[in-house]
Amino acid sequence: MLQKLLISSLVLLFALPAFALDGPALLKQVDRNLNPESYEMYRKLINVEPDGKKKEFTLFSVKKGADKVAALFLAPASEKGRSTLRLGDNMWLYIPGVGKPIRITSLQSVVGGVFNNADILNLDYSTEYDVKSITDKDGGYLLHLKAKTREVAYDQLRMQVDRNRKVPIRIECLTEAGMLIKTLYFKDTKEFGGGLVRPSVVETDSPLYKGYRSIMIYAKIRKRTFKDEVFTLTHMPNIDSLR
């Protein structure tokens, strides 16, 4: 009898974590494992067409807190000096010589390809999404996320998270009706310094753009703080001064 009680207690003990998972806390941990709350970043974005043709962009990006992101194009020469700014759900594109920044939307793409502006100027997942459910699955966790507002690019996300590193492995982006828009694949985990260990490559494909792929390669991510004035329309022509 005592043996049965011990076995039952052990079964309950090991089963508890699966039922006691804190979805919101896990999602916030995923966010911090991907990036510091405020940072500077260098990355390359590659669009691959069905015939193998590629177009590459190099970007310098900065972020502050939950809702401020800016990015500057360093290459190719045709794009150099362009910058983008995101403040919450609002986004702008600055083109040298054109005048005032112009409004852009989250579902557009300033680089073409499968990544849209929301992917390029991404905020923390916990800023835009609530955790509707979490399950212990396939050696990791599966989070079902729901957009907090209708302004978010994807109504739902299905996020597969690595159990040990607490970073995404795969994210499916869905419409309100559950239609798959694109899938993000997180690969090649590496050390970026300062204790940050995360995937260095994010690839995406979409059933809406058959044969097309887009890839982000992260070269540098470093914790850094900025003044609020960096994230204003008037500062968009001067982002290069931060490098």
Annotated domain spans of the chain: 36-242
Query: What topology is assigned to 36-242 in CATH?
Result: outer membrane lipoprotein receptor (LolB), chain A (2.50.20)
Cis ω on the peptide bond leading into residue 76 (within 30° of 0)?
Answer: yes
Distance CA 195, CA 44 (A): 22
Residues 6+ apart with CB under 8 A from 33: 165, 166, 167, 196, 197, 198
Predicted confidence at residue 233, as pLDDT, reads: 97
Instruction: Find tokens 């995937």 and name the residue.
Output: 199
Predicted confidence at residue 139, as pLDDT, reads: 80
Return the bridge partners of 203, or none. Answer: 185, 215
Specify the pTM.
0.88
Q: How many residues does the chain have?
A: 243
Burial (CB count within 10 angstroms: exposed 0-12, middle 13-18, buried 19+), residue 41: buried
Q: Which tokens go with 38?
A: 């405020």
Predicted confidence at residue 15, as pLDDT, reads: 42
Predicted confidence at residue 11, as pLDDT, reads: 42
Tell me how far the alpha carbon of residue 189 is from its chain's centroid: 15
Residues in the chain predicted with pLDDT less than 50, given as ranges, are: 2, 5-19
Distance CA 142, CA 140 (A): 7
Predicted confidence at residue 159, as pLDDT, reads: 98
- Local structure of 230: helix, strand or coil: helix
- Local structure of 195: helix, strand or coil: coil
Predicted confidence at residue 19, as pLDDT, reads: 42
Instruction: Find tokens 């753009």 and name the residue.
Output: 209
Please state, in angstroms and as integers, the Cα–Cα distance from residue 195 to each residue in 90, 102, 141, 169, 240, following that order: 32, 38, 22, 19, 27
Burial (CB count within 10 angstroms: exposed 0-12, middle 13-18, buried 19+), residue 143: buried
Q: Which tokens go with 155?
A: 């109504």
